[in-house]
């Protein structure tokens, strides 16, 4: 008897949409929070919590829509079929990328401006300010590096840098995943704990991004499957 290797079955095409669906679900928290903030601003009711936004509304009016568009539109950049063009036309991935790069820069730069020039709210201390400056600046740098890479037609590096930038942006949703278990198990946060939890959210998001970057570079490690025996062909009749 001879043996033959059985080909592995292809994954269900529907599963590829789990990634953008999960990312959009994770984005709901910052999107809803931003919508509430915009409602407060348009309503014109000044409170101690939003007074700093009324004093200088332009940055927050830039930040919230750009973050929303960046998180939602960027989630679909991780769907492989959308990266392919059709009939010589640019792919959806490429068209969306032309929107996402400037949108992501506006979101990050406006966030940096607010971190520096707005009054610090309660529980936001110097450590959290430093973390916001570090990760916000990193997001700007990653988008710029991704743009430079795609101009050089280095699409692998482009994908890696843009994935890291998106990981920083979506960390606002990861904060909920990190903070809620702490509050349930330990109790309310103080200034130091809040800074450390938010910093851990950025680190966690980047770690997940690095994991998938590594998997794309090296491919999934598949366990060998036992070969299925195939009967040898009978000898020709004489």
Q: In this model, does residue 201 exceed pLDDT 60?
A: yes
Residues 42 and 39: their CA atoms lie apart, in Å, by 5
Q: What is the per-residue pLDDT for 234? A: 54
pLDDT per position as a tens digit, 1-17: 333 343 444 545 666 78
pLDDT of 65-80, one tens digit each?
A: 999 999 999 999 988 7
- 229 forms beta bridges with 3
Helix (H) or strand (E) holding 2: strand 2-4
pLDDT of residue 83: 74
Q: Which of 15, 19, 16 is nearest to 163 (CA)?
A: 19
Domain definitions of the chain by residue range: 16-81+90-219
CB 2 within 8 A of CB 227: no
54 and 41 Cβ atoms separated by less than 8 Å: yes
- Report how far residue 32's alpha carbon sits from residue 39's, in angstroms, rounded to the nearest whole number: 11
Stretch among 90-94, 197-201, 219-223 having the lowest mean pLDDT: 219-223
Question: What is the pTM (predicted TM-score) of this model?
Answer: 0.82
Tens digit of each residue's pLDDT (9 = 90 or more) over 37-91:
888 888 777 877 778 888 888 999 999 999 999 999 999 998 877 777 666 677 8
Q: What is the dihedral of CA 201, 202, 206, 208, to 10 degrees?
A: 10
| CA-based nearest residue to 171, from 35, 15, 23 | 23
The per-residue pLDDT for range 126-180, each reduced to its tens digit, is 999 999 999 999 999 999 999 999 999 999 999 999 999 999 999 988 988 899 9
pLDDT band at 221 (very low <50, low <70, confident <90, very high): very low
- Length of the chain equals 238
Question: What would the pLDDT profile of 99-114 be if each residue is shown by its tens digit?
Answer: 999 999 999 999 999 9
């Amino acid at each position: 008897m001879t043996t033959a290797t059985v080909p592995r079955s292809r994954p269900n095409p529907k599963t590829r949409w789990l990634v953008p669906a999960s990312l959009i679900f994770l984005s709901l928290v910052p999107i809803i929070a931003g919508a509430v903030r915009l409602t407060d601003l348009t309503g014109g009711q000044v409170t101690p919590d939003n007074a700093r936004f009324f004093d200088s509304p332009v940055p927050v009016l830039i930040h919230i829509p750009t973050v929303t568009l960046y998180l939602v539109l960027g989630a679909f950049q991780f769907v492989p079929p959308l990266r392919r063009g059709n009939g010589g036309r640019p792919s959806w991935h490429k068209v969306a990328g032309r929107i996402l790069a400037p949108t992501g820069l506006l979101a990050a730069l406006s966030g940096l401006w607010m971190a520096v020039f707005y009054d610090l709210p309660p529980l936001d201390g110097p450590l959290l300010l430093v973390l916001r400056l570090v990760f916000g600046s990193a997001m700007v740098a990653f988008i710029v590096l991704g743009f430079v890479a795609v101009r050089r037609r280095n699409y692998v590096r482009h994908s890696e840098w843009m994935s890291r930038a998106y990981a920083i942006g979506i960390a606002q949703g990861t904060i909920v995943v990190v903070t809620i278990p702490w509050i349930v198990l330990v109790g309310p946060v103080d200034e130091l704990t809040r800074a450390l939890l938010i910093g851990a959210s950025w680190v966690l998001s980047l770690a997940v991004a690095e994991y998938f970057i590594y998997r794309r570079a090296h491919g999934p490690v598949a366990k060998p499957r036992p070969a299925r025996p195939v009967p040898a062909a009978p000898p020709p009749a004489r």
